[in-house]
Structure 1
């Protein structure tokens, strides 16, 4: 889709991009070919230069160039071209704000392998591992995950960023990550009903009681937050294509589900739910397993 995109070019925008498509100018190659014929020059030399630069930046595998140029809400167009260098990302924290807040776990998924990072064990490895990727896909990561990571690690994440929260909202899907998952038929099974606050409880159960099953459950939950981003990204990409001339030629197939290392422990979930039943009254006395 990126090579069919013109809205990132100064002076063109969304409306003129559609006019170009209607004229049969469907790709950068079409645009540059038309521009070579002075009698059919579709736009000014500045636009031609920007498209020529776009070709160079795409060949250099530089998605940051496009994320800076694309209008708000159009970064989904990066996905197909840079999928092989994309990381899906989510963090868990201790639930505190400000200086008392810290990251407890991070899960990273690149479409092939799931990487887990835990505070006190291997969390610092994340700083090097994330450098392998050029695009980040998150849900609400622009407001939460990325700023938290940059604060906690004292680093900057320079990658192009696709935040699914805003793309899905534009498509009419709201209700948070879990709500969007349900609307797309994604089932978390034994982790249904486990939320961000519960993840905090799992962390403290692990720290206080040395309960490795609580940590395993936390990491299983965090992994679900991450691996489910890929099918949501693919679905959103395909839905966005419907408003373009490429809604049949550019469709992406649904991705396979990865094998996950960590499994949720239903006994731990039920015990913590019961101990905190004032926050989860709807399941009090109802085992999850």
Structure 2
């Protein structure tokens, strides 16, 4: 998913991922969370290119501010609530993708909602991180205003699909003896 502060564009492996390259080349700067280790290597491998943009990985910025854990932990720490996507993580995303590949279009729509939430929340995380860094400077500098808008996610979260995926995840863990 690409988000420039105004527009959301989603890309799906096997459908329109190749369109991502043309879109992303319009930007000189990319902000991700853990993109250095995951997103960018995956995209560069899949597309057979090296992305030339300056890249800021908020994972390391947040760590330098004393925040640990993944994106969702950082979001919670600064007051971002994911609503019906609360509890959905990267592993759940993999299960949603599998469910979609097995013929469930609602799983893809839910996965897209999750990916869009990941992406649009980076704006708030970036503003927070920037302002925290500025506050720690020995001289006064202006802070960035909070993002003024609430972004509407253009995909529906199918909570019944999430329930099925969470149940399947629990069953898999119980078979391994990791729960109960």
- Under a length normalisation based on structure 2, what TM-score does the superposition of the two structures give? 0.91
For structure 1, list consecutive stretches of 5 or more residues without a partner in the other structure. Answer: 1-106, 285-289
Q: Output aligned runs, 1:213-228, within 5 Å.
A: 213-228=106-121
In structure 1, which of residues 229, 236, 239 is the aligned counterpart of residue 129 of structure 2? Answer: 236
Q: 1:89 corresponds to which residue? A: none
Q: Which has the larger radius of gyration?
A: 1
CA RMSD of aligned residues (A): 1.6
Q: 1:143 corresponds to which residue? A: 37
Q: 1:116 corresponds to which residue? A: 10
Q: In the alignment, is residue 190 of structure 1 matched against residue 84 of structure 2?
A: yes
**Does the 8 A contact of 1:139 with 1:177 survive in 2?**
yes
SS at 1:155 equivalent: coil
SS at 1:161 equivalent: strand
Equivalent pairs, count: 174
Q: 2:142 corresponds to which residue? A: 250
**Does the 8 A contact of 1:273 with 1:280 survive in 2?**
no
Deviation at 1:279, TM superposition (A): 5.5
Higher relative contact order (CA 8 A, sep 6+): 2
SS at 2:2 equivalent: strand
Deviation at 1:131, TM superposition (A): 0.4
Deviation at 1:276, TM superposition (A): 2.3
In structure 1, which of residues 105, 130, 133 is the aligned counterpart of residue 24 of structure 2? Answer: 130
Deviation at 1:274, TM superposition (A): 1.4
**Does the 8 A contact of 1:108 with 1:116 survive in 2?**
yes
Q: 1:154 corresponds to which residue? A: 48
User: Partners in 2 of 1:246 and 1:228 — Cα distance?
Assistant: 29
